[in-house]
Structure 1
Amino acid sequence: MKRAIILVLDSLGLGSSEDAHLYGDQGSDTFGHIIEACDSGKANNSDRSGPLKIPNLLRWGLGEAAIESRGNSLPIQRVKPEGAFGFAKEISAGKDTPSGHWEICGLPVPFEWGTFPKIDNCFPRSLIDELLKQGNIPGTLANKHASGTQVIEEFGDEHIQSGFPICYTSADSVFQIAAHEEHFGLERLYELCKVAKRLVDPLNITRVIARPFVGNSKDGFKRTSNRKDLTTPPNDFTLLDQIQEANGQVISVGKIGDIFSNQGVSYTVKASNNMGLVDQLINEMDKVKDGLIFVNLVDFDTHYGHRRDVPGYALALEKFDKRIPEIESKLIDDDLVLITADHGCDPTWPGSDHTREHVPVVFYGKSIKAQNLGKRETFADMGQTIAQHLKIKPLANGKACELN
């Protein structure tokens, strides 16, 4: 079996999709708006300044993919791509992380996941009552839609004093619980999240996320890398299952294992940030010569998209771009690398939620023909392309891109 690598630049959308108006996202453009902000000086700070500097990603074809998606020019240097480039629209009903990843791997989610209303005390009383009872906790805090960092700042002190975990949600299908690693306990938080997942399953909520943090109000609270996602398993076979059925291995780098509820995953390696995850990718490329290495670079979404931090997002892209030559140096002749995203999270957009956008489809490898792949009608085209490359059974959805 050959080797493939998927790099999900979590939330790097390429412009609002045709149905974005149904989500309140018409006009959103994560990548394009970052480029424009950099070009105008609005993304300058003490860490970076000037136009977005991503020569390697542009060389692979990301810039041309963005121009194809938005249908007009961007203030970037045009270069002749060395990879195959295009963009894809999502046919899944949501704009959440699991739906995006599952569709990339050939399993669109045509139904809508359950969500909680955007009101104070948004969780059903019966849900909270059972969480208190089965989780053996005296109470909860927040119980509303909130940004993860803001809710910790708002309720962190009260949480430490009362022992009440902080429960909150977003526009996504998610129930999140934040708790202090030392005062509440990390394992206790994980156990409480297991209880919560059982309780929200009847509500068709996709994920329960443990959001541990440390620190104090004087010096500031900080979320740690011990996040844990409890996700509803995929309801059918994905690319990951097909690879394992063909006796191949699937290596999860980052939160991929959590997103697929470890279904079809051989093993997982983690790290505390994007650069650590790239380090892990490089390590795995040295060891694993066949199958799939599947990477999610979560900082783009969690640290910069949701927090609406344009300079931070731009700097993170520039830092990742500098690692591209390291990845290239580890490629073997038949390797196929895919750069894509699972949704958008435009840091210039109002609010703090994901945005409904096209995603990049950028394939690179020594044997890949540089070409314009155009618009792909579903994310599943990417998974089907990888299945064809690995010479395994075709997926149920998607049309493979012809790369040679």
Structure 2
Amino acid sequence: MNTAAIIIEHVSKTYQRGKVRRGDIRSSMNSWWSGMGKEKEEFDALKDINLTIQQGDVVGIIGPNGAGKSTLLKLLSRITFPSKGRITIHGTLSSMLEVGTGFHPELTGRENIFLNGAIIGMKREEVARKLDSIVAFSGLEDFLDTPVKHYSSGMYVRLAFSVASHLEPDILLIDEVLAVGDQEFRKQCMDKMLDVSNQGRTIIMVSHQMSYLKDLCRTGVYLHAGSVLFQGNIDDTINHYVHHYKETKRTSIRDRSDRRGTGAVKLAGLEILDQNGYPLHLLSAGSPVSIRLQLDLQVAIAYDVVIQLEFLDIYGQLCFVANNSMSNHSIPKLDASQAVECLVPKFPLNTGTYFINTAIYVSNQLSDEVLNAIDVEVAPGLFYGTGKLPPPHKGLLVEYNWK
């Protein structure tokens, strides 16, 4: 008989945005004193969530930015509380949310380890027995007695994950923070989480890296705009997410708000064209294509413009990168809004769905980054020119010779 580790019943979380009225100081103060200083605008970060997570399950929470994933984990961690509904948790819980939560910045790494143990109800002697393994896993022996406010984000994540995973909570929550660590440490963390799950503990993980979720999780929850759109096994959840993402992604790139950078040069549009200049909605592996980027400029840019395109599969795995600096192709002087094209003589991705991330740099500063700018559907193609189709597996195709 399955035992529920977490029961979420009709949970909603509502926040308020306050808009201060404009005017002179006297009228603003009078409005404030009269209780009219702010207009309340409510929005629902989560809407009537109902979930039951079984003991020992490994659950991936999937969804776009603003879907409510981090809010849900904060409710489970009791950092904040539901506006409506009830959450029941059976067992001890440890969470590893965004960098900066969970540790006291003035305390040393050692002191924070004991503090976190006390928070989840462990005795000091129990924590002391695990101290050596926590420190060894983190690789921060030389910084253990340094206040964590002096740690880099990578050091913080190393210690935070080591503490969260070694103190043996019944439930472990992880929110995207492993993106800060290097590849070797992420592999180390994945192995540790597999070990934790094999001990029958419950793991709930938020990540945009679908490959991590696919490798680790058994079940998934797809959140969108604060609501659960799908719950099932992890493969079906990822497929629902990808399908819904493609169907609903109609917002113009120019209007995207989830971007970062100085804004000196911004991506306004992106499309893939065939060799005759017509838009392609379905590519063939091995076919010649042109990737056209429409750029908006704040001022004329004469030099030092670098554009990078990253091609990722549906699990977030990077397949290949196109970067004009790496191939020694300089971008000509940019005046006002204009288009730049990346020519790919033989498109190197095999059958499947892929996404393109874009990044524009001006004088070594990030000017604009848009993740998942567009999706690309690739059909089988005669990449090798032999009349034989490559096996229908996603991934990169390369040219080679035998002798």
TM-score range, shorter chain: under 0.3
Question: Which one has a larger percent strand, Structure 1 or Structure 2?
Answer: 2
TM-score (norm 2): 0.26
